[in-house]
Each structure stands twice: as C-alpha cells, then as structure tokens.
Structure 1
Amino acid sequence: MGAGGRPPKYKSVKEMQKKIDEYFESCEGKPLMINGEQQYNKQGYPIILDRKHPTITGLALALGFSGRSDLLYYQKHKKDSDKFYDTITRAKSRVEEQMEESLFHKDSSNGAQFALRNNFKGWDADKKQEENKTEGITIVNNIPRE
C-alpha cells in the first residue's frame, strides 16, 4: 500500500470485464430441468429459477467493492480510472437498460421508476420540473394608509 491509499482492485479492463460478465450471467438464472427436460409454465414460457434484476449495488458487490458508492468512486477518482471508466459506464448502462425494460411490466414499473430516478442521470426530469413550478400567490396590499 503506497501513499495513494489502497492498490487498485483490478490491474486490467479484461479482468474487470470478466467479473462484470459473470455478474450479468448470474442474474439470468437457470432453467428448471426435471429428468433432463426444460419445464414450461402455462403460457409456454420456460421456467427460470433464481432470475434477478441486475442492480448497481449488486454489480458493485460482484466486483468486490463494499457498495455502490465505492464503485462510483472507483469509476471517477482512482489513479487508473480512465481505463476503467468506459467499462464501468457500459456495465451501469446494462443495469439501466434492464430497469427501462421493467417500465413496461405492470408489476415492476414503480420500482423501476424509483431506481431510474435515483440512480441514473436524466431520469429525474419530472421531479425537476415540479420543483421549478411556482404556484405564486399574489399579495396585494393596496389599503390606503393615512
């Protein structure tokens, strides 16, 4: 450990990308197999076990960081952050894309909206517009004074 703090977690983009790919693959889950045969639900879709939505925090933990903020710090402030910036940004965009897709599903739409507004730039436009609205009350003080 030198004067700059902890050594970087990753020596190469390739090493980091491998961990990122493993994380997204783990989110896909596994097909339910019985006696070597894929099982399907009533609508004819394959039954997938342990599928989960990828998240920024999940990505950070899979990469060995303590949490989301450590990943974001690593992306922007580490000595070698330039070489990891695109890799981390692309991974975050994959999480964002999955959340966008969730907007079209009734059961996950509200959670996806919340996550997008609070974790990704540009999704809080509605909130900013509401904050900028001014419903003014005009006070007219035209009582003559003597």
Structure 2
Amino acid sequence: MGRPLKFKTPKELRNKVEEYFKYCDNNKKPYTVPGIALYLNITPKTLRAYKNCTLKSIDNRDCEEYSEIMQEAYAKIEASYAEQLVDPTSKKNPIGLIFALKNMGWTDRQEIVTESKTIDIDLVD
C-alpha cells in the first residue's frame, strides 16, 4: 500500500481540477501541466500517476474515475495549446506551443509507409 491519496474521492479531485481552470480563466493565465500540478499541490509525477492509474493506494474501481478526470484535464490543456498554435490573433510564441505539444506526444515528422507486392505476369505470344 502506498502513501495516502491527496484527494480522497474522484469528486474531490474533479472539483479541484475545475477550480484550477476557473482560476486560470479569471486571471488570464494559460493552462499548463506544471501549472495544474502546482495548483493541486502534487508533483508532475503524481499527476501522471493519477492520469495513468498507477498509484498504489488506489483501488481499481476508483482508478478509472481518477484517470478519466486527469485525462480530461490533459485534453483540455492540449486543446488550449493546439488552439493557440492555429489562432492567427495569438501572440504566443509558436515554438513554445510546439514544444509543449511534443511533450504531449505530438510529432512534426511525416511517416511514409510503403508496401511492396510481387505480381506475376504471364506474357503470351
């Protein structure tokens, strides 16, 4: 059994996550993964553990609920980065946004997959 959970119930976590986004909106602050971790008073590693459901002190039933809450938070943060990247009125440095999105699994390389097949052709005179 690991350390006691910072948030006793998924509802408590959800309320605190929603509070973070309201705080950012009211104070014109960007949504960020380090920002939400700081607001929740947990480390980024613990934040990922909630998201990936790898906390030892959590039962399987609640695990999915905690994970879903954090996945939604990550998705909201990711969407914010992506929207700022394509917003022509945004004054944000696109390099910072691209860096943040790459840290969330995005890539900017093109992958080309080729498939070769053998074809037999019988020529008739």
TM-score under structure 1 normalisation? 0.63
Amino acid at match of 1:94: K
Structure 1 residue 107 displacement after superposition? 3.1
Amino acid at match of 1:17: R
Q: Map 1:120-135 to 2 at 5 A.
A: 120-121=104-105, 123-126=106-109
Question: Residue 30 of structure 2: which of 53, 74, 87 is its match?
Answer: 53
Q: Does 1:102 align with 2:84?
A: yes
Q: Map 1:1-146 to 2 at 5 A.
A: 4-29=1-26, 50-65=27-42, 67-75=43-51, 76-78=53-55, 79-80=58-59, 81-104=63-86, 105-118=90-103, 120-121=104-105, 123-126=106-109
Q: Which runs of 4+ in 1 moved over 6 A?
A: none
Q: Tell me if the contact between 1:103 and 1:110 (Cα under 8 Å) persists in the aligned partners.
A: no
Q: How far apart are the structure 2 equivalents of 1:107 and 1:7?
A: 39
Structure 2 unaligned runs (5+)? 112-125
TM-score under structure 2 normalisation? 0.72
How many equivalent pairs are there?
102
- RMSD, aligned α-carbons: 1.8
Structure 1 residue 111 displacement after superposition? 1.0
The alignment-based identity, stated in percent, is 31
Q: Tell me if the contact between 2:50 and 2:70 (Cα under 8 Å) persists in the aligned partners.
A: no
Give the structure, 1 or 2, with the largest relative contact order (CA under 8 Å, sep 6 or more): 2
Structure 1 unaligned runs (5+)? 30-49, 130-146
Question: Closer, same or farther in 2 for the Cα pair 1:14/1:52, shift >3 Å?
Answer: same
Bigger radius of gyration: 1
Q: Which moved more, 1:9-18 or 1:85-94?
A: 9-18
Structure 1 residue 73 displacement after superposition? 1.7
